[in-house]
């Protein structure tokens, strides 16, 4: 059930995330405000303020931890695009040392593979992933005859370059599929709502709602969570992986000979 609730977050468009969260936070704060009026008792406002401060501190730690996790995954995806472009380019150059017909055929297979990899493939793009896997198999199949006509050092160099292409391709696909666990995002939203509840509870102890200041706080919290989700979603939102390294590689490769 928790996984199902976490999956619902992905159904909300990124642009609507702040608005949805601000509404949720206002509702939680209002419930806290009403609960204090009914069940608050005679406790001092200072004690409740300490509880709120602790909750906000823990929320800040959760936000920082989750943001760091999402940013690290984003950086990994970005670096793998550059690494894969470099690996394909190196393998293509080394394939050029192989005499015809094996060298040009291997270069053509690498060029076709690079065209498929111009965008980061998402897990749901099964057809594109299958095409990439088929091209990797073709590249490897053409590597055998190509390295057979080379001397020892150059053959080893070619095989190493092709292996790097295949390994990086798999790593890039796994990196795109790896995201911040939905349960972590769900916990973050729940804890933020609880913190807003405690805020409303404490504000009633002081006798003021402070709606404008609360709205600014809730908006900042919503924007921060939206930023985390933007970093975590490879194909949505404004923060996308720069594919220019792969695009420049494809533009520089010779056209396929097939």
Inter-residue contact 109 to 102 (CB < 8 Å): no
Would you place residue 83 in the very low, low, confident or very high pLDDT band (cuts 50, 70, 90)? very high
Count other Cβ atoms within 10 Å, centred on residue 225: 22
Instruction: Please report whether residue 226 resides in a domain.
Output: no
Tokens (6 digits) for 34: 């009403």
> 3-state class of 258 per DSSP?
coil
pLDDT at 208: 77
pLDDT digit string (tens) for 185-204?
Answer: 999 999 999 999 999 988 88
Cα–Cα distance measured from residue 33 to residue 36, given in angstroms and rounded to the nearest whole number:
5
Would you place residue 254 in the very low, low, confident or very high pLDDT band (cuts 50, 70, 90)? low
pLDDT digit string (tens) for 153-187?
Answer: 999 999 999 999 999 999 999 999 888 888 899 99
Instruction: Please report whether residue 158 resides in a domain.
Output: yes
In the DSSP assignment, the letter for residue 119 is S
Residue (of 149, 168, 167) closest to 158 by Cα position: 149
Q: Is the pLDDT of residue 234 over 70?
A: yes
Tokens (6 digits) for 93: 């150059």
Q: What is the mean pLDDT of residues 135-159?
A: 93
Instruction: Please report whether residue 50 resides in a domain.
Output: no
153 HSE (CA, 13 A, CB side): 0
Containing structural domain, residue 119: 89-172+243-252
Least reliable range by pLDDT among 15-24, 41-50, 198-207: 41-50
pTM: 0.84
Q: For residues 45 and 231, which has the higher predicted lDDT (pLDDT)? A: 231
Instruction: Please report whether residue 80 resides in a domain.
Output: no
Instruction: Please report whether residue 208 resides in a domain.
Output: no
Q: What is the mean pLDDT of residues 41-53?
A: 72
pLDDT at 183: 87
> What's the number of domains the chain is made of?
1
């Amino acid at each position: 059930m928790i996984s199902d609730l976490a999956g619902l977050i992905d159904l909300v468009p990124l642009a609507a995330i702040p608005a949805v969260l601000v509404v949720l936070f206002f509702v939680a704060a209002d419930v806290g405000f009403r609960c204090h009026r009914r069940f608050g008792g005679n406790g001092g406002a200072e004690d409740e303020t300490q509880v709120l401060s602790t909750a906000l501190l823990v929320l800040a730690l959760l936000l920082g931890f989750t943001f760091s996790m999402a940013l690290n995954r984003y950086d990994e995806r970005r670096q793998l695009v550059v690494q894969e472009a470099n690996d394909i380019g190196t393998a293509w150059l080394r394939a050029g040392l192989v005499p015809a017909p094996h060298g040009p055929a291997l270069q053509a297979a690498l060029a076709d593979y690079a065209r498929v990899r111009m965008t980061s493939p998402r897990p749901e793009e099964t057809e594109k992933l299958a095409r990439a896997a088929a091209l990797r198999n073709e590249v490897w199949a053409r590597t055998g005859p190509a390295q057979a006509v080379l001397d020892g050092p150059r053959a080893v160099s070619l095989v190493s370059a092709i292996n790097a292409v295949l390994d990086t391709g798999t790593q890039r696909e796994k990196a795109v599929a790896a995201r911040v666990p939905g349960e972590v995002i769900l916990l973050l939203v729940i804890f933020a709502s609880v913190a807003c509840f405690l805020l409303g509870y404490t504000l009633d102890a002081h006798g003021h709602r402070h709606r404008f200041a609360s709205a600014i706080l809730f908006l900042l919290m919503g924007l921060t969570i939206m930023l985390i989700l933007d970093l975590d979603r490879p194909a949505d939102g404004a923060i996308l992986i720069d594919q220019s390294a792969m695009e420049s590689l494809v533009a520089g490769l010779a056209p396929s000979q097939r």
